[in-house]
């Protein structure tokens, strides 16, 4: 079409005349041309308001149910959206309001009034050294309930957080049982050094959360930006507050959680088989020396034997990943808890067990854990409450003497024309340095056992001052103890090789047994002993004057830590049957070592919260930290 002095609309009308096409001019002069039936949509407009006050609500999300098509209301609460048909349903959602689903029902105008989600606004949120109502919350806080977290059947609690909490990123860097914790980041990296957030469990900072039992957790809260400032310099990367479950008044309630599952690697490299690999070697040799032909390394008969499997002794075809990896690795989890109590005494008691196997056949890698928790709440008088919490767990990590990285490296380097096992079941030769991953992934090379015992306790008292309304004082005294025993016993192992020529009188290939690894067993043994003592005491005073509401909190906290480490090494054991230090040789190779360290922190903190009729909010936070790292 060749036109001039015509408007865009006239040109488009001429173009689409007599066709099944329509056009529509969108924002920024964007023109869409499409079949008529797909363009004939209903445009619905309207306004969103607060049902109680009638005020307009900007930023409301409006989505066509069952699709990702949506829009938001503007600053005046108005919206416009194209729906595919008159039976469409619009979903209106906004923070602090009940989600509404409104059928279009052939209407072109919809005015929607959203109801406030009163229950959520009145929800109490855990913050540093206290709680606040969500409606008066000033900082950025995200929370999730424990019942939601336990839906993910993971042996490491940090992995259940993936995609659960806004602003929190959890990245699992390893799937190795026992070392599968996720790296946690809150709003990215904020410091040049350690970027881990501060973990606070039941009011006690610097505890670990990876091995918590999800069935014991009541709530999980993340403090971001200024809301984390109450914890001072430790909170540069945000704060995670975890509250464990407590007993409720009533008859004993028994809860049992049992689940089992299977793991497998998400992606395994697709490696060349023996026939393909042999062909590749021939091609490489041909490129280097074309004059010598295309079968310089392997003949066509060799390649055929690799492919058809008729000669497993002379022409093996090994899929190293399939040989070493199991199709599925099992894991299981069991927990039983009992809770209940009276007005004067409440209890929550929990017992748990976890197990996760490694990926290898006859795997030397696996993780097991047994844990318990007891939270007791008592009422001494009308104004004095006391709580005593104690939890403990045993963590057992078991590994081969070769690292996961070394095993995977040899799997990648394994040549398919080399046997992992000979047809008679004996282990085949090593790839290099004695490494046959079908053997080094088992306990044939010894063992590496890492056992940890953790005990955490807390005594809490809360006193409400009867002669000053709104004034209360709370104190915590905790004692945490951790032991770690690591024992690494390395022994020689044996592999079998064949020269490809020697047979016995029965025509069976003669295998040569060879020692690999060490000449004699050796033992490395370590012991760690650590403890942490924490005290904090703070007072909270709440009062109101008309519509002016105040909440003032001030307190102090002290934390001390002691750590001891011991190491011993012995070599040249006469036998691998006795794996104790005394059985090792007392020669120039024996060694012992040890160290100790201490740490201490003391802090003073305070916070003032103010709101006017729960609409206008202000918060002031102060913290003064002292550390053993700095001179007076």
pLDDT at 16: 66
Work out the pLDDT band at 8, boundaries 50, 70, 90.
Answer: low
Residue 3 has what pLDDT? 62
8 Å CB contact between 207 and 480: yes
pLDDT for the residue 147: 82
The reported pLDDT for the residue numbered 37 is 56
Structure confidence at residue 40 (pLDDT): 52
Contact 232, 321 (CB under 8 A): no
Q: Which two tokens stand for residue 332?
A: 């299981």
Does residue 36 sit in helix, strand or coil? helix
Percent of the chain with pLDDT over 90: 62
pLDDT at 533 over 80: yes
Q: In whole numbers, what is the pLDDT of the chain averaged over residues?
A: 88
pLDDT tens digits along 546-587: 999 999 999 999 999 999 999 999 999 999 999 999 999 999
Structure confidence at residue 326 (pLDDT)? 93
The ranges assigned to domains in the chain are 8-118, 122-250, 274-307
Q: What is the CA radius of gyration of the chain?
A: 34
Q: What is the mean pLDDT of residues 24-44?
A: 60
Strand partners of residue 478: 458, 534
Tell which wins on pLDDT, 140 or 343. Answer: 343
**Per the structure block, which two tokens stand in for 160?**
């259940």
Least confident of 220-229, 457-466, 476-485, 511-520: 220-229
Query: Do residues 134 and 121 touch, judged by C-beta distance below 8 A?
Result: yes
**How many degrees, rounded to 5, is the angle at CA 516 between CA 515 and CA 520?**
75
Instruction: Indicate the range of 129-138, 431-440, 558-567 predicted with least confidence.
Output: 129-138
CA angle 493, 499, 501 (to 5 degrees): 145
Examine the pLDDT at 163 and tell me if it is beyond 80. no
Task: Give the pLDDT score at 264.
Answer: 84
The total of other beta-carbon atoms located within 10 Å of residue 80's CB is: 12
**What's the full length of the chain, in residues?**
632
CATH: 2.60.40.4070, 2.60.40.1120, 3.40.50.2300, 3.40.50.300. Which one for 8-118? 2.60.40.1120
Question: What pLDDT sits at residue 192?
Answer: 77
Closest CA to 416 of 220, 279, 242, 293: 279
DSSP state string for 104-164: -TT-SEEEEEEPB-HHHHT-EEEETTEEEEGGG--SEEEEEEHHHHTTS--SSGGGGGTTT
Yes or no: say if 65 and 88 are a contact pair by the CB < 8 Å rule: yes
| Residue spans of beta strands (DSSP E) within 203-304 | 204-205, 217-224, 239-244, 250-263
Q: What average pLDDT does range 254-271 have in this prediction?
A: 89
Q: For residue 393, what pLDDT band results from cuts at 50, 70 and 90?
A: very high
Which H/E stretch holds residue 568? strand 548-570
pTM over 0.85: no
Q: Which residue has the higher pLDDT, 87 or 569?
A: 569
Q: CA 348 to CA 605: how far, in whole Å?
A: 31
Pick from 416, 369, 344: nearest CA to 157: 369
Predicted local distance difference test score (pLDDT) of residue 6 = 67
The pLDDT tens digits of the residues spanning 297-316 come to 999 999 999 999 999 999 99
The kind and range of the H/E element at 276 are helix 274-288
Sorting pLDDT into bands at 50, 70 and 90, what band is 109? confident
Q: What is the mean pLDDT of the segment spanning 56-75?
A: 85
Q: How would residue 171 be classed by pLDDT, with cut points 50, 70 and 90? A: confident
**H-assigned helices in 289-414:** 300-308, 320-324, 404-413
**What pLDDT sits at residue 186?**
86
- Strand boundaries in 55-95, DSSP class E: 61-64, 70-72, 78-83, 89-93
Mean pLDDT to the nearest integer, 110-124 = 74
Report the top-level CATH class of 122-250. mainly beta
Query: Is a pLDDT exceeding 60 seen at residue 39?
Result: no
Confidence class for position 10, pLDDT limits 50, 70, 90 = low
Which residue, 510, 508, 506, 483, is CA-closest to 496?
510
Closest by CA position to 367, among listed 450, 438, 440, 437: 450
- How confident is the model at residue 90, as a pLDDT? 92
Q: Residues 75, 58: contact at Cβ < 8 Å?
A: yes
Give the mean model confidence (pLDDT) for residues 348-377: 96
Measured from the Cβ of residue 382, the count of other Cβ atoms closer than 10 Å reads 8
State the average pLDDT over residues 273-280: 95
Give the model confidence (pLDDT) of 406-427 as tens digits. 999 999 999 999 999 999 999 9
- Please enumerate in sequence order all residues whose Cβ is within 8 A of that of 256, keeping only pairs 6 or more positions apart, or say none: 334, 335, 336
The predicted pLDDT at position 137 comes to: 73
Q: Are 27 and 55 in contact (CB under 8 A)?
A: no
pLDDT at 42: 74
CB count in 10 Å sphere of residue 40? 10
* pLDDT at residue 530, rounded to an integer: 96
Q: How far is CA 379 from CA 464, 473, 591, 610, in A?
A: 12, 15, 55, 31
pLDDT at 514 over 60: yes
pLDDT at 64 over 60: yes
Q: What is the pLDDT of residue 502?
A: 93
Judge whether residue 26 has pLDDT over 80.
no
Of residues 89 and 34, which shows the higher confidence score? 89
């Amino acid at each position: 079409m060749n036109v001039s002095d015509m408007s865009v609309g006239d040109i488009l009308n001429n173009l689409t005349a007599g066709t099944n096409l329509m056009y529509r001019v969108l924002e920024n002069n964007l023109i869409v041309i499409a079949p008529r039936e797909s363009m004939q949509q209903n445009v619905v407009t309207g306004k969103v308001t607060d049902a109680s006050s009638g005020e307009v609500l900007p930023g409301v999300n409006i989505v066509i149910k069952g699709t990702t098509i949506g829009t938001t209301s503007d600053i005046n609460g108005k919206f416009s959206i194209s729906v595919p048909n008159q039976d469409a349903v619009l979903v209106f959602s906004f923070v602090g309001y009940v989600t509404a689903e409104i059928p279009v029902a052939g209407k072109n105008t919809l005015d929607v009034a959203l109801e406030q989600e009163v229950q959520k606004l009145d929800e109490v949120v855990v913050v540093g050294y206290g709680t606040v109502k969500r409606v008066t919350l000033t900082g950025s806080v995200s929370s999730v309930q424990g019942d939601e977290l336990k839906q993910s059947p993971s042996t490491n609690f940090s992995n259940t957080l993936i995609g659960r909490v806004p602003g929190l990123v959890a990245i699992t860097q390893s799937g190795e049982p026992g070392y599968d914790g996720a790296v946690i980041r809150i709003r990215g990296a904020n410091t040049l050094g350690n970027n881990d957030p501060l973990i606070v469990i039941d009011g006690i900072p610097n505890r670990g959360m990876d091995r918590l039992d999800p069935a014991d957790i009541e709530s999980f809260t993340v403090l971001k930006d200024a809301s984390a400032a109450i914890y001072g310099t430790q909170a540069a990367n945000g704060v995670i507050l975890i509250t464990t479950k407590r007993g409720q008044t009533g008859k004993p309630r028994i809860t049992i959680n049992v689940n089992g599952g299977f793991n497998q690697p998400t992606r395994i490299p697709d490696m060349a088989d023996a026939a393909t690999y042999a062909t590749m070697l021939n091609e490489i040799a041909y490129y280097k020396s074309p004059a010598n032909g295309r079968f310089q390394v392997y003949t066509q008969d060799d390649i055929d034997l690799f492919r058809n499997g008729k000669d497993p002794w002379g022409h093996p075809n090994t899929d190293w990943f399939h040989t070493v990896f199991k199709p599925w690795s099992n894991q299981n989890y069991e927990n039983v808890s009992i809770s209940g109590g009276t007005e004067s005494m409440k209890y929550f008691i929990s017992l748990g067990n976890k197990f996760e196997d490694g990926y290898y056949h006859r795997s030397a890698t696996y993780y097991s854990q047994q844990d318990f928790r007891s939270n007791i709440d008592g009422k001494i008088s009308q104004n004095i409450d006391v709580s005593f919490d104690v939890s403990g767990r045993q963590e057992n990590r078991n590994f081969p003497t070769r690292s996961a990285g070394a095993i995977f490296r040899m799997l990648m380097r394994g040549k398919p024309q080399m046997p992992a096992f000979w047809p008679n079941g004996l282990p085949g030769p090593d790839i290099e340095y004695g490494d046959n991953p079908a053997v080094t992934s088992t306990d044939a090379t010894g063992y590496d056992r890492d056992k940890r015992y953790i005990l955490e306790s807390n005594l809490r008292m809360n006193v409400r001052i009867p002669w000053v309304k709104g004034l209360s004082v709370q104190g915590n005294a905790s004692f945490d103890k951790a032991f770690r025993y690591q024992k690494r016993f390395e022994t020689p192992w044996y592999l079998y090789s064949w020269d490809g020529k020697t047979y016995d009188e029965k025509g069976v290939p003669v295998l040569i047994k060879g020692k690999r690894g060490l000449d004699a067993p050796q033992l490395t043994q370590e012991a760690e002993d650590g403890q942490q003592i924490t005290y904090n005491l703070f007072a909270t005073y709440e009062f109101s004057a008309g519509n002016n509401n105040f909440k003032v909190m001030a307190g102090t906290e002290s934390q001390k830590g002691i750590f001891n480490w011991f190491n011993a090494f012995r070599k040249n054991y006469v036998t691998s049957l006795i794996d104790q230090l005394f059985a090792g040789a007392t020669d120039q190779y024996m060694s012992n070592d040890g160290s100790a360290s201490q740490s201490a922190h003391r802090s003073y903190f305070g916070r003032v919260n103010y709101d006017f009729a729960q609409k206008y909010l202000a918060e002031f936070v102060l913290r003064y930290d002292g550390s053993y790292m700095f001179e007076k």
